[in-house]
Each structure stands twice: as structure tokens, then as C-alpha cells.
Amino acid sequence: MNAPIINTSAIRPVPAEPRHDWTLEEVEALFEVPFTDLVFRAAVVHRRWFDPCELQLSQLLSVKTGGCPENCGYCSQSQHFKTATKASKLMEAEAVISAAAQAKAAGAQRFCMGAAWRDVKDRDLPKVAAMISGVKALGLETCATLGMLTPDQAKALKAAGLDFYNHNLDTGPDYYDQVVTTRTYQDRLDTLKAVRDAGMSTCCGGIVGMGETRRDRAGLLHQLATLPSHPESLPINDLMPIPGTPLGGSQPVDGLEFVRMIAVARLVCPKSMVRIAAGREHMSQELQAMCFLAGANSIFVGARLLTTDNPGRNADEALLANLKMRPMAMTQVS
């Protein structure tokens, strides 16, 4: 059977420095590059900026679970859906700091705190700030995902010692209203601007496997690649379908398509820490190895990711040992 003729004329040579003028057509064309060529290109770019044998290990803790007023179709924490997730109150700072210390002892270099809120309430800021400063004092890189922020709230989190703020775009702008309607795409972009303006680094990515098309995936990466500054951290989630949510019956994305997503993310955001986030629980070692080859250089460790399963410590130690990879050296973000 003859292979389809692919128009890759829109693709410019990979530049020495990151670009912010990608067109959607260029990003779409990258997805059409023959698989082995695409992975090779991404691997070359990866090696330009990172040690390909190192992985950053990040751990995520749900510091306030459930009861969220948003209707994100993938999320078990939404109060709109009937799921097995039970709502809980915001954890005490001491318990969060203790969990972070255990994560560091287990090898994590980065600790992320997630709360199921639509937006941060000023009354909760002091307790959240205490968590952040306590985790920062352990020598860990700090990250939080708490919903939408005002500029003043972003400045307060920065003052508490927060290095990164996670606020995902989820998908491309054309598919977004098929996933969530209680928050606009512009709302998300506004929060990212507040984070950048406060001097924090951004952690921003999305999810594949929600019924979106390849163009929608390209649309997400195009949005990220044309931000005023690329996300310093770029998580790619492979949907973990949750019973009771609108996307609970979604069909999984093919493994090679997931690798393509990683590779294109690496090409258009070459200096970002590209993280395999949710979904590793159902990925083979071989699939994860292909993702690392294609430019992923960070994973979440620990047995839970907010409310979904994640490979445990023993599985991840075996993965790194089999691939002869090593944890990334600890760094502190100023």
C-alpha cells in the first residue's frame, strides 16, 4: 500500500533558540512527520537543552479534595458529577509539610500541592502560604494548583516562596467548550498572565484522550508555544477515565499518538520540562521509554495523583534501573 503524501513544507528547520511565532499549520504539520523522523528530531532538540539520561521526579498531593463548582468533564472532584470521590477540607500546613518531607526522602525533587477550587479565597491564603514556605524550606521545588488567581493573590504566593503555578489549558481552544463550560479559555490565560507578572514560573499543559482530534492537540501546543514565555513545566496527561464523569467512557489514545504529542511538545517548547503526568498507570515500560526518547524528562512519582492511581515507588525504581536513567539533580528556583 502506498504511503500518503504528507505536506511538510510548512515546517521550518528547528531553530537554535525557542520560537514564539509558530503557526497552527506548522504545529499540525509536525504531527504528520513520519514517526521515526519526528522522534529523532525531538531527541536532538532534547539533548540540546537537557541530559537525556536524567528525569525530574515530582510528587503531587491533594491538599483539598472534592466539592469543586467547576464542571470539567474529566474530573472526579466536580460537585456536578456523582463519583466515588468524597469532599474534604483544606489540610493543615503541618500535615502537608510532613508529606513533602516523606516525598523528598523517597527521591522527589519537586512537590506540588493541589486544591479543588474554582479560585483561591483570600481567607485561605495564609494557610496555603504556610504550606508553601514550609515545603520550600525543605529544599524542594514548590508548585501549586489552586484554580484561578488574581494578580494580588499571585504576588502573595510568590512572596510565600512558590516557584511554579500549575494552570492547565486542558485542550485546544476550539474543543475547550466540549470539556468545561464554567470557566473560559481566556480565564485560564488571564491566570497564567497573573502568574508570569508576579515573577513565578508557569506549569501548563493539557490532556489527551478526551475525544479531541489531532488538530485540537496541535491547537493546545500552538497556544503554549505562542505564549509570551513558554511554560517552564509542560505536563501532558493521558486521560484516566473516571466512572460518573462525562468523559468516563472515553476511548484511550493510541500509544504512538501519545508519543507524538510528547515529541511535538518538545519541538515547539524546547526548554520546557515536559512531564508525563496522569496515565502512566496504564503505560508499559516500553511506551514510557519511547516518551523519554521523544523528549519527556519528568514524571510524577508516588502511588496517587490527586484522585487517580499512579505507579508506586517500586515500579518507578525498576523503570529507572531498567533504562539506566537517574533522578535529576536537585535545583532551587530563585
- CA–CA separation, 145 and 182 (whole Å): 17
Instruction: Spot the catalytic one: 12, 41, 53, 72.
Output: 72
Strand-pairing partners, residue 97, are none
Instruction: Spot the catalytic one: 41, 47, 110, 112.
Output: 112
Per-residue CA distances from 65 to 115, 146, 177, 210 (Å): 6, 11, 24, 22
Per-residue CA distances from 218 to 64, 173, 197, 265 (Å): 32, 10, 26, 9
Catalytic-residue membership of 204: no
Determine phi and psi for 236, rounding to 5 degrees: -115, 115
- In order, the DSSP letters of 192-212 are HHHHHHTTPEEE--EEE-SS-
Cβ-proximal residues to 270 (8 Å cutoff; 6+ apart), any chain: 14, 18, 45, 46, 48, 49
- In order, the DSSP letters of 220-247 are HHHHHHTSSS--SEEEEEE----TTSTT
Catalytic-residue membership of 75: yes
Instruction: Spot the catalytic one: 41, 68, 110, 260.
Output: 68
CB 150 within 8 Å of CB 194:
yes
- CA–CA separation, 160 and 168 (whole Å): 22
- Write out the three cell numbers for 89: 477540607
Instruction: Spot the catalytic one: 41, 188, 266, 275.
Output: 275
Instruction: Spot the catalytic one: 41, 110, 203, 266.
Output: 203
Bridge-based pairing of strands 298-301 and 273-276 is parallel
Catalytic-residue membership of 269: no
Catalogue the active-site residues.
Answer: 68, 72, 75, 112, 143, 203, 275
